[in-house]
Structure 1
Amino acid sequence: MNTIKKYKFWIIGGVIVLLGLAAFGLNRTKNSSAAETESNETAVAFIGDLAESATASGQIMAQQEAALSLAASGIVDQVLVDVGDQVNAGDVLVQLDTAALERAVASAQADVAVAQANLDKLLAGADAAELASAEAAVASAQVKLDDLLDGPTAEEIAASEASVKAAQANTWGASGKVQASNDVSEADILAAEADLQDALDQQQAAHDTWVRLADCEVNEAGTYSCTPSDHPQMDAATQNVEAANAQAAIAQARLEELRSPDSNNVASSQASLASSAAQYDAAVARHEALLAGASDEEIAAAEADLANAQAALDKLLTGASDTDIKMQEIRLAQAETTLRDAQLKLANATLTAPFAGVVTAVHVSEGELASGLAVEIVNPDSLEAVLSVDEIDVGQLAIGQPATITLETWPNEEIAGEITAIAPSAASNGGLVTYEVHLSLADTELPVRVGMTANANLLTDSREDVLLVPNAALTADREKGTYTVNLVRTAEDGTTNITQVEVSIGLKDNRNTQITDGLVEGDVVLIGELTAPTTTSRFGPPR
């Protein structure tokens, strides 16, 4: 009995001890959870908006900028801009000297006009005046050839003989003057007067013959107006008149000389004799040639002249050939090409602004021989931010996504932007692969300049009205690819329990993460890793 009681005592005592230990452990757990909760910050899961973004840096550049070069070399006549000047599209920036170029254009224009006129003439054919002139040329050439083939006429022989006689008479007269220059008698004067009268009679007869053969008409004054006709004997009549006139003039001079002797008559008479002798020899030579007839060379030349005149007439009658027209069209095209080249060179002597902008550099000055780069301009309204974006982030970007831009010059001033272009190929620098991304700039009062360093925050995605917790509340298991939070729950009796809960996440920014599963709005989570207060555990009652 005592043994049984003894065993019961120990059993009851053991139970009491176990219950005491359990109570002690429970109290310690309760105190530990409360202490752990108090040692960590907590946050409440809430509904809010979230935007995911990437950052990148780059430079401010202009979409429109140009380094303008002179298309041709030349002397600079005018430099019309300075650095900083505002220009409009088409404004003249630099003007080369164009005097020689303008002359070249004028000459080329004249050549084109001539070539066009010649082509028009070929296409239009000959007019009546041209045909009449060509026909007259053929007739004249035919008459000349016929005259050569027929030989001299009786009238031509007579006229030639008259010329020889006149020349001979002149020579005799000159000889007589030499002989009689120092001894003039009354008989000599009478003889000279008789000679003059004979010469005047011959002159009148020759003149009457010429008038009879010529075309004459009475004019308003009542006198005759005569012109040589086409009569075959007209040339001979003309020669007879000339010879008679010469003979009369000589007789008149001889008579005057006899009537008025001069101390210089001897020398003058000798010179006159020499001239008369030469004229006589020439008249004899012409007469002999006339009697001999035309030479083979003269006939051949006359035949060639006739053939050429006939060919010219035939060409006018038949019109221009296709070959002639084609050749003239080629000449016109060549002239037009030369004109275009001259006009282009003239235009290239003027450097103009291709767009509105600001002059950033001027590389030429007036009076120098210049070529190549002359002026640089940039369009300040076309500024953009060009960023180098890491390949990790570029996949999340798309044209049209918004961005916020800050500049190193004004780090606290934000400029709105938007992605306008993403380079299709990457650039690699030191193993870092990046893509060029272009951002537009919203209107700003900041004096933004090309080359400034730009930093951008690129909005890649966003969510509205989603469940969020601070990023620091999440713990990631990289090996498993999972995320957990420490969920804090408070029981009805006031005790606090901390439970590790696996959650699914969505977007995140630099502060919060979207929770898609595992939590509800209002849940309390610990911030950071779970930490316990420093305590000293021992067996036995507390001191």
Structure 2
Amino acid sequence: MLSARRDSRPENSARIFAHVTSLSHVRRIMRLFKIEISEDTQLDSEKQSAAAGAKKKNKKKKKIWKKLVTALAVLLLIGGVIYACMPNGTAGRGNSVYKNDVYTASRGDVYDTISATGLIESSEDTTAKVHSTLTYKIGTVNVALGDKVEAGDVLCVYDTETLERQIRERELSMSTSERSAALNLANAKLTYESCLAGVNAGTNASLVSAGSSYASAAEALERAKEDYDKYAAKLADSAVITLNQAKRNLDDAQKNYDDLKADIENKTHTQIRNAQRAMDHAEKTYTDYKWDVENDRTSTLYSADQAYESARKAWRAAESDLSALQEKLKNETEPEEIAKLETQIAAQEEKVEALYASYRTAEDTYDLTSAEAYKLLDTYKENYDNAVDAYDDVIKSLGDTLDNYATALANAKDSYQNALDGTDDTLKNYETALTNATRQAHDAEINLENTKTSVSNQLESYRIAYENAKNAANTALSDYQLANLYEDLGKATVTAPIAGTVTMVNATEGETASGVLFVIEDTETLVVTASVKAYDLDRVREGMRVTIESDTTGDAVYAGVLESIAPTAKKDMTGSIVSTNDAEFETVIRVTEANTGLKIGVSARIAYVAEEAKDVLCVPESAILTEGGESCVLRLADKAEDGSFTLERVPVTVGVSDGVNVSVTGITEGDEVADNAEQYAAMVGARLTLSENSALVGSMAAMMAMGGMSAGN
């Protein structure tokens, strides 16, 4: 970063100050402005008694110094007024430019930054607080503060003697199957809850590894892009423009192909998902209704079947009653009884005939209902077949689209290769590195998403196994008590959930310990927690570059990236905004460099790089004149052998500013321009020379001369 260039001339200032504060000049100035020192205020100790003189000296000295200070104040005030009232053009002493106000335009880097402070911490996804809910004594502790551990390393082991005795006592009162069920329940619960805790805490080894790989690949891609863009910017010719466009086309074609290919393989494409849902719904509707039809379980079939069975039973019962009457008639000999039975038989025959008619009606109704049900089943089967065909059509259509994407990708590769052939080998190397980094970042992103899906599926399988174990276990309280003891035994060996450095140990051998026993942090994967003022929010964005410094690392400056900005301003413990007048928003900056030497818990100085311009032409901001909305500089021109020159206005376009220097276009490297341009604006076109002193020094000298003349008079 270009440092500020200011007119620091301590030797001139010291010389002027010494000159104007010498006693003789002060007295001249006091006489000039009629600040009289009467004779009786002179320090003449010989005319005073020793005792009285000591007292008067102090009083007289105070009076003298008060007058001296008054004189100096008046002098500086009048000098400042004279200087401030000088018209433009006289600041350079009329026909000269102060030599230190001549600035040679040069190339450099300019950064528009926002400064802040923060605290260095380990990233949340690489920090693990190892908890325990056990209340037993610690048997052994295997690690100490600062030790490096790998995921799965044993950190400590509880003394399980008491726990094992409780388990044995409980087992004696249970059968083998009960003990097995309790053990299965404990293992299933421990496995599920451990996996769930790892997912929720962000310490699942698979997710951490995939996330770390993706973060590294993304950072490598950003560096490759920066290297490529920086070199390509230097070339800035038509070949590079063509190459950049070809590269963008290739990237788009590659992304389209890769994304669609992954969606087809993983069946995550929207069209596939919709077709799959429609097919699954149609299949379920068909199979469910088919079972209902075959088992007379549709509402209409069930009613028809019930009516049919009821009618059939009533008819059969009436026939049975009729047969009984007829059989009784055969054996009857009494005329009176025979007549009675004949009357009953006649009535029963009418009843049988009526019930038979109802039975046939119910049978016809059932047959009709069944036919309608099978007709509807055929419709459902047709819908299912159509859904299967639609799904196949979607797969085929997407396959055709993928083929088109493959063709477009091949064409984009050819076009890109042709464009690449028109550039130099260095750019080709940068391009190859960028292509590889892009591919690796894309693969890492896909791997991360697949890992998330895999872990989610694994967690679900653990949950189901846990539910099954609970269902299989005896519901007696003793079973669950034994299962809890088994679970505690499984937790007695405490292991590291992630790899890293042990930064806190709260476990002591022979002592009871619970809660947070250890903290493990990746001391190389660091973040800085900081903040940004509300009025700077529009200048910061996630993903922007940040520079990081710390007292523990000397003058070293490390790179970082703004990872997140809090959605709301900082709040206190009650949930209220900390300050409504000067609100701050918390930020997290990820350190993107390795082996930095930055220490967790140490404060850091950060700078959000809002805008930057590298290897650009720069001049001081004070060299820019703005007139009528247009910017210009005063360039030294028409130089003569005697050293004289003129000033000319040159229009410039102003770019990035760091508050001291600003990038410009419109002039060339090596051009000399006038700094503090407003002082010299009226001198444009006049013949000028360089002076050793600034205008302020000249005006002070004039003041001294005025004082001398007055004293002489």
TM-score (structure 2 length as normaliser)? 0.35
Larger radius of gyration: 1
Q: As a proportion of its length, which structure holds more strand?
A: 1
